Amino acid sequence: MALLDQIRTDAQTALRAGERERVGALRLLASELQKAAKEGSEDELPVLRRERKRRLEAARAYEDAGRPDLAGTERREAELISGYLPPELSEEELREIVSQAVRETGARTEKDMGRVMKQVMATVDGRADGKVVSGLVRASLQG
């Protein structure tokens, strides 16, 4: 639980510095990690990804509702969470992984997309958005 300890330490530091917004986001993140640990999940990264995704979706909803102030808060929290996640793969790296998966699975048409996606998503291990990967796989299989 090194990540949880790091988040708690960062929350204490932010509290001492008077960064209320940061403290709130870190405490919520720590709470979600603790809840996942109680439920038996040892892997912390899916929790962080889920929370980041929630923040980004909330930011889009606030933007659509005409509340840029709240959208900005959600985006800052998502950015804060991203700092605890491994860096995302570049599009070049993703293209290489996709082409390798297509070769290894022998995929020829879009009907084979499921096999390719399964292999690619296992390889990227959450370091890429599924929609981006899906688009690259589809483009690769179309020609």
Tens-digit pLDDT string for the chain (143 aa): 589 999 999 999 999 999 999 999 999 999 999 999 999 888 888 899 899 999 999 999 999 999 999 999 999 999 999 999 988 899 899 999 999 999 999 888 888 899 999 999 999 987 888 888 999 999 988 86
The answer on 56 and 115 residing in a single domain is no
The answer on 77 and 18 residing in a single domain is yes
Q: How many domains are contained in the chain?
A: 2
Domain region containing 107: 91-142
The answer on 96 and 70 residing in a single domain is no
The answer on 118 and 54 residing in a single domain is no
Is the overall model pTM greater than 0.85, yes or no?
Answer: no
The answer on 109 and 55 residing in a single domain is no
The answer on 55 and 32 residing in a single domain is yes
Write the CB contacts of 116 (distance below 8 Å, at least 6 apart in sequence). Answer: 98, 101, 102, 105, 107, 137, 140, 141
